[in-house]
Structure 1
Amino acid sequence: MAKRVKTDKPQNLSYRIKSINIEKLKGINNCPISFPEDKSVTAIMGINGSGKSTILHALSCVFKPLEKSSKENNRFSDFFTPHNENNWQDSKFSVVFRAGEIKYNGGTVSFEGIAIDDKKDIIYGKDKRWTPVYARRLERESIYIGLQNLATLADNTGASRYAEYKRVDIYEKTIKDKMILALNKILDADYKDLFECHTLKGNKKFIGMVKGDIEYTEHTMGAGEKRVFEIVKHVYSGKLNRNGYLIIDEIDVLLHERAFQELISFLIKESKAMCFEVVFTTHRESVINFKNQINIISIWNIGNGIEAYPGVSADALRQITDVEPDMVNVFVEDNLAKTAINILIESEGLNDKVDISLFGSAENSAVILSGLKLTEKRIDTSLAILDGDYYITPPEKTKMVNKVLSGTDKRVEKEEVLSRIFQFNLDITDVKGSPEKNHRLWFEAIDENGVTDNDKTMFVNLKKHSQSIGALTDYHDYYPELARRARLDNIEYKVLNFISKYSEKWDFYIRDIRVEIHKAIAVI
C-alpha cells in the first residue's frame, strides 16, 4: 500500500519498528531483523542461548511510555546490569521506524503508514552511559511480560503470610466478560469470575478466580494458568489500545499444545482489532502453523554470531548441522520429492554417495544453503530442490534469496546460493498440488501394452483406481485418495516408480537434477 506524504504533523502521529539492527549486544553482532507492515504479531524462534531474549530486551528499551520517561522493564539497566565480566560498554543497535497515523472509523482503529519529512532513525548504545536519554525516546506504550513473575504463591514457601486477604472486584463487567471468554477458550475451562486479592497485612496483591463452582487464588494456581491470565489481562487493560506494544518472553512456557495454539490465535485476532503489536519468543516449532498470519523469525547461532532468518522453522536450521561432508547433500521440500530422488539414485546406484534431507517450505531452500555458506561449509556438493510449482523463474528465486541474505555486501554469497537451487520440471504449475497433478496425468497416460508382465497386474489395478478419482480442487489429496481406493501402502513410490520405468516424462521431470547430482559427485 502506497504511503501518504504528510507535510503537516498528523494529530495522532505514532511510530512502529520497521527494522532493528543489533550491531553489538551481548553475544549478538550485526544481526538485522525486519518487521513487515502487514503483520501485527512477530514470533522469534530459536534454541536456548541463541539470543532470543536479548533481542526482546533491546525491543523493550526502544520506546518511552506515555506521559513518563521510563518504567519497570523499559530501561537498559533492567536487562543489561553491569557486572565484573561485562559493563556493556560499546553495546549498540539501531532502529528504523515506520511512521503512521492512528485512524478511527466507527468502532475500528487502524495504523495508517505515512511518509514524513523528519525521518526517525535512532541509534541506541552505551558509551559511558546509555543513549538516547530515556525521556527523548519516541513515545509508545509497551508492556513486557517476562519469566520473573511466572511463579505463583503455590511455589512460595512463605505463602502462609498471605493467608488473610479481602476479595476486591477491580474489573469492569464488560472487560471481565471479555477476559473470562478468552480464558475459557484458551484453556478450555469454565471460569465464572475473576477478582483480585488484597492482603490484610502488608500490600500484597494476587489473583483470584472462580472456575466451575470452585473459588481459588494463586495459593493453588498453576504457573501456566497464571501466565495466560497475565497476557489476557494486559490485552484488555486499555494500555495497548492505540498502537501499544506487547512483548512476551517464552510465551509457550508450561502451556500444552492446544492452549498454545489458542493463545496465538487470540493475540492475532485482538492485535488486529485493537491496533497493537505483539512480539514474543518461543521454542514451540508448531508456531510455523501460523506462518501466513504472523511474522516468524528464526535465530540460529553460527558460532561467531547469530543469523536471523525470516519465515522458517528451527527444524530447518538444524539440518545445516547434519550435513554429510563426504556426500552429495540433496535438500527437498517434502516426502514426495524425497521419494522421487530416492527412485533416481536407486536406479543409478548412487545410494552411498547421496544423502537426502527435508527442508520444508520452498523459502527454506535459501536458508539451508545460506547457512552452509555463512558457516564456511562447501555448498558445491549440495543441492536444494524445489517442487517446481513456486519460485520457478530466476527473478522469483532471486527475490526469495534476497529475503534471507540481505545487504549489498553479500552479493557473492547470493550468487552462490542461487547457483545451488534447482527444481523438478512440470507441465502444469498453476493448480494446488501441481506436482501431484502432473504425476497423475503422466501415470494415467502410460500405455499398458508397454508395461512388463511382472508389473502389469499392479499397474492396471492402480491405473483403474486413479482414473476413478474425479477432478480435485486440491491435488494434494490425490495420493491419499488413491491409497484409500487401492488399499495400498507406499502409494507415492508405486506411482513414481511406474512413471520412471514407462513414461518419457520421467527424464523431463528429473533431467536437471540428475545432471547436477552427477556434477556434485565428480567434485567430492
Structure 2
Amino acid sequence: MNLTMKIQNIKNITNLTIDFPLDKGLYAITGENGAGKSTLIACASTVFYWMPMNDYFGRPENASIKFTMGAATRGWVFSNKQWRSKNSDIKMKLRGFYEGSIIFGNRFRNTRFSVIHILDNLKFEDMSIADEFVRENLGEILHNDSDYYKELFILKRAITKAKKLTGDPYFYRTSKGELINQARMSTGENLLISILHSLNILYNKQKQRNDGWPCIVFLDEIELALHASALRRLVLFLKRIAEEIDLAIFFSTHSIELLREIKAQNIYYLQYNVDDSLSINNPCYPAYATRNLYSDDGYGNDMVILVEDDLAKLIIERILIEKNLLQNIRIKVLPTGGWTNTIIMAYDVLSSSLLMKSTKLAVVLDRDIKSEVPAFISNNKKYSGIKLDYLPIKSLEKFLRNNLFVKVNSDLFSLLDNYVFQKNPLNAILREYKRKNKEDDTDGKILYGYLLNELRSMRKDREELIELVVKYIMKNETDELEELIAYLSEKIRD
C-alpha cells in the first residue's frame, strides 16, 4: 500500500503527485537546492498534524494538499482567504511524525527567550530520568558511547503543564552537577533528542497495539546538524528500527553519505525543469543524484564497466543508450588495454577497495577471446571470483572485416554504404584495401584504418559508424546481445 500525496500551488510546486511506499525501510527525497525537497516534506507532515498552515505555506490562491490511502482521504484546501481541512468519513489509519528543518520542527518549539528563561530556573526535583531508549541511543549515535548521556532527564508532565510548556523538554546533568536544558544543547543533540523521543513513542505504540497500522516518518535535512560519523550511526540505527516495527522513513537530503546507504529503488530525485515544472526520477542512483551537487573527484559513479579498448567503450555506451539502461544512474565505461589487463585491473579494484562501497563493477571483454579466458583463470585462481561477460561480437574491427570483406553481408554493407560512406562507395574502399594491403589483417585493424580515413575525409567521426553497427547488432545478433544486456541489467539491480 502507498500513501499518495498531491500538491497544488504551494511555493515552487505547481502540481505534483508522489506515492510514498509504506514498506519498511529507508527512503530519500533529494535534488538540488530550491528543487522543493523541504516543501515536499513539510507538505507531507500535514498528514499527521493540524499545522499552523499560514506560517508554513503562506496564503497561496487555489492551493491544496491531498492525501489518499486506500479509500481514505485527508488534506487541506486554501479558499476564501483561509486554510480548511478536508477529510473523508473513512479514517486514515496511519502513524508517524515529522522532524523539520532549521526553521520549522519539533526541536525548536521551546527556543523563545521567555521559554528558555523558564527552563533555566527549573529544579532537579522537577525531572524524571529519561527513557533508556533515548539515553542510550543518543550517546551511541552522537559519541559511539551508550553511557555518554546516562544523566539525561525529562521534565515531569505535571510541571510541563503547570508552566504551560509544549512538548517534553529534556535536560542533561554534567559531571559538575549543572543542568543544561534542551534549548541550550547543541543543534545535533536537540535534533536527535526530538527524533528519538518521537521514535520511542511510535515504537511503543506499534509494539503494544499490534494493529497493523502502517508507520511513516519524515525527516528534513538532518545532515545539517550532524557530523558524518554520527549520521552514519544514525542511519544504521534507523535501519534497525525500521525493520523491527515495519517503519518507512523518508529523508529529504543531499548528503552523499546518507544516499550511499539507501538503495536506488528508494531514492526520489526532484528535478526543477526549465519550464518551472517539477518532475520526480525514481529509481535513482546515488552518484546520479549528487552529480550536480559535488565534483566528480572523490564521489565517482554508481557503476564502472571495464572494457578492453576505446571501441568496446563506444559499443557499450551505445548499447546502454539504445536499451535504455541509463535511467537515473551514473555509469563510467573505462578501457583498460587488452583482455588480461582488464581482468587484472578488475581484481586490483575489488581486492584494494578502490571504488566507493556503493559503486558496482562490471567487466565486458571482446567475444573473440571467450575460449581463452577459462584457461587463464584456471592458471590464476585468484581471478576466479570475477564475474564477466562479452561483447555481442568478436571485436568491432573483426566484425567489420568478416562481414564486409571475408564474406560480404549484404544487409550490413547496404546500411553502411547508404548512410555513412556517401562520398566514395564502400565497395571502392574495400577494393582499394584488397589491392594495397599485403599484411596479415585477421584482427581487422588495417581495414578499420581505411574506413576511419574515409570518415575523416568526409568530416565524420567513428561514432556515426559505430551507431549503425550497434543498430545492426541489436537486430541480428540477438542471442549474444540479450546475454550481455541481462548481465548489465543484473549488475545495475544488485
Q: Same fold (TM over 0.5)?
A: yes
Tell me by how many angstroms 1:335 deviates. Answer: 3.9
Change (3 A) 1:300 1:178: same
Aligned to 1:207, which of 159, 166, 170? 170
- Corresponding residue of 2:252: 281
- Corresponding residue of 2:16: 31
- Corresponding residue of 2:305: 336
The one-letter amino acid of 1:195's match is F
Distance in 1 between residues matched to 2:110 and 2:64, nearest whole Å: 39
- Corresponding residue of 1:506: 395
Residue 131 of structure 2 aligns to a residue whose secondary structure is helix
Tell me by how many angstroms 1:81 deviates. Answer: 2.5
Aligned to 1:167, which of 112, 124, 130? 124
More helix by share: 2
Residue 165 of structure 1 aligns to a residue whose secondary structure is coil
Q: Say yes or no: does 1:195 pair with 2:153.
A: yes
- Corresponding residue of 2:132: 177
Map 1:104-503; keep pairs closer than 5 Å. Answer: 119-120=71-72, 124-128=76-80, 129-133=82-86, 138=92, 140-146=94-100, 147=102, 148=104, 150=107, 162-167=119-124, 176-187=131-142, 188-189=144-145, 190-197=148-155, 206-210=169-173, 216-218=179-181, 221-238=185-202, 241=206, 242-292=213-263, 295-303=266-274, 304-313=276-285, 315-317=287-289, 334-337=303-306, 342=310, 365-367=326-328, 435-436=362-363, 442=369, 445=372, 467-470=379-382, 472-473=384-385, 475=387
Q: What do residues 181-222 of structure 1 show as CA deviations (whole Å, max 9, x unaligned)?
A: 322321213221320358999556742225778765237521
Residue 186 of structure 1 aligns to a residue whose secondary structure is helix
The one-letter amino acid of 1:20's match is M
Tell me by how many angstroms 1:157 deviates. Answer: 11
The one-letter amino acid of 2:381's match is I
The one-letter amino acid of 2:328's match is V
Distance in 2 between residues matched to 1:51 and 1:311, nearest whole Å: 18
Change (3 A) 1:54 1:237: same
Distance in 2 between residues matched to 1:251 and 1:516, nearest whole Å: 48
Identity rate of aligned residues, in percent? 17
Distance in 2 between residues matched to 1:294 and 1:194, nearest whole Å: 38
Please give the TM-score of this superposition, normalised by the length of structure 2.
0.56
The one-letter amino acid of 1:334's match is M
- Corresponding residue of 2:351: none
Distance in 2 between residues matched to 1:292 and 1:131, nearest whole Å: 38
Tell me by how many angstroms 1:248 deviates. Answer: 2.0
Number of residue pairs aligned between Structure 1 and Structure 2: 354
Tell me by how many angstroms 1:236 deviates. Answer: 0.6
Q: What do residues 402-422 of structure 1 show as CA deviations (whole Å, max 9, x unaligned)?
A: xxxxxxxxxxxxxxxxxxxxx
The one-letter amino acid of 1:191's match is Y
Whether contact under 8 Å (1:24, 1:93) holds in the other structure is no
The one-letter amino acid of 1:336's match is I
Change (3 A) 1:365 1:156: farther
The one-letter amino acid of 2:92's match is L
Tell me by how many angstroms 1:464 deviates. Answer: 7.5
Distance in 1 between residues matched to 2:267 and 2:229, nearest whole Å: 19
Task: Tell me which structure has the larger Cα radius of gyration.
Answer: 2
Tell me by how many angstroms 1:140 deviates. Answer: 3.7
Q: Say yes or no: does 1:89 pair with 2:61.
A: yes
Distance in 2 between residues matched to 1:40 and 1:336, nearest whole Å: 29
Tell me by how many angstroms 1:261 deviates. Answer: 1.9
Whether contact under 8 Å (1:296, 1:310) holds in the other structure is yes
Distance in 2 between residues matched to 1:144 and 1:336, nearest whole Å: 40
Tell me by how many angstroms 1:321 deviates. Answer: 11
Tell me by how many angstroms 1:333 deviates. Answer: 5.8
Distance in 2 between residues matched to 1:23 and 1:517, nearest whole Å: 48
- Corresponding residue of 2:481: none
Unaligned 5+ segments in structure 1 are: 1-15, 64-69, 83-87, 99-118, 323-330, 349-355, 370-383, 388-431, 448-462, 477-495
Whether contact under 8 Å (1:298, 1:312) holds in the other structure is yes
Change (3 A) 1:504 1:203: closer
Please give the TM-score of this superposition, normalised by the length of structure 1.
0.53
Tell me by how many angstroms 1:224 deviates. Answer: 0.8
The one-letter amino acid of 1:229's match is I
Map 1:28-107; keep pairs closer than 5 Å. Answer: 28-63=13-48, 71=50, 73=51, 76-82=53-59, 88-98=60-70
Whether contact under 8 Å (2:8, 2:14) holds in the other structure is yes
Distance in 2 between residues matched to 1:40 and 1:95, nearest whole Å: 21
